[in-house]
Amino acid sequence: MTACSYPDARVSPRSERESRIRLFCFPYAGGSAQVFRDWEQELPEQIEVSGVRLPGRGERVREKPFTELLPLVQVLTDELAPHTGEPYALFGHSVGAIIAFEVARSFRRERLPLPLHLFVSAYRAPQLAHTSYRSFDLPSADLIDRLRKLNGTPSQILESPAMLEFFLPVIRADLQMVQTYKYSVEAPLECPISAFGGRQDPEETPEVISAWREQTTASFSQQMFAGDHFFLHAEHRSLLQTISQQLLSAREAGVI
């Protein structure tokens, strides 16, 4: 895989309108850029949404999904580096949060401009060990049951053998990638971080969300939303309002 330019199969195509801030969005396990397809219509015109298209889904369906996080991060660094010269921010939900975090650290190692803001959602701070058991190698029936309890996978997928045949290998790869991830200590990032969580999420509690504070020397904020691990669907309007306020405040403060 090599670096690419717009339009491409790596991030959603740019709109034709002028935009001051590009928001790169990383999906949760098994998710695709389509998760964010309606966000741009609900955000102010100064913010442009680019859903990052990961291997194994969408236009990259013929590519093998990654089972290790850091090799994926290096590929994404190469692909997104040409687009860091303009103001941008990163958002990631669940598995996407840890991908976004490691991409930001990779940009720093490559001496690329850091994001205006890093938004991490529904995932504990990376320095904390994840206590949940390994689920990527569960028997299919058990994995499907766990996905059903997490309440984030559409029922039409879980009830369709044909769709599961495609979906399960991708989600297993994503889960393996994050469940075998080993955090390495580096200096905190110099960009602001906002961390989000669901009040009814049994694993990603307010305490583990708040630990993201240690990963930045800039400002930190935390907000908990009504809902479980996938609050970003039911509470997306409140979530987008928070994101837009943070980014437009940076613009008004003259950061951009």
Residues 6+ apart with CB under 8 A from 18: none
Residue 4's pLDDT is 33
Question: Using omega within 30 degrees of 0 as the cis cutoff, is the peptide bond preceding 71 cis?
Answer: no
Residue 80's pLDDT is 97
Domain that holds residue 140: 21-252
The answer to the question of residue 89 being in a domain is yes
Q: pLDDT tens string for the chain (256 positions)? A: 333 333 333 555 444 444 589 999 999 988 888 899 999 899 999 999 999 999 888 788 788 899 999 999 999 999 999 999 999 999 999 999 999 999 999 999 999 999 999 999 999 999 997 656 678 777 777 877 888 777 767 677 777 777 777 788 888 898 899 889 999 999 999 999 999 999 999 889 999 999 999 999 999 999 999 999 999 999 999 999 999 999 998 766 656 5
Q: Find the CATH number of the domain harbouring 95.
A: 3.40.50.1820
Alpha helices in the chain (DSSP H): 39-42, 69-80, 95-109, 140-150, 155-158, 161-179, 206-210, 231-234, 236-252
The answer to the question of residue 60 being in a domain is yes
The answer to the question of residue 49 being in a domain is yes
The answer to the question of residue 13 being in a domain is no
- pTM higher than 0.85, yes or no? yes
| Active centre residues (catalytic) | 94
The answer to the question of residue 137 being in a domain is yes
Q: Quote the tokens at residue 196.
A: 């989000």
CB 56 within 8 A of CB 171: no
The answer to the question of residue 6 being in a domain is no
Residue 255's pLDDT is 60
The answer to the question of residue 14 being in a domain is no
The answer to the question of residue 52 being in a domain is yes
Q: In what order do the strands lie in the sheet with 220-225?
A: 47-51, 21-26, 88-93, 118-121, 193-198, 220-225
Domain count, the chain: 1
Residue 20's pLDDT is 81
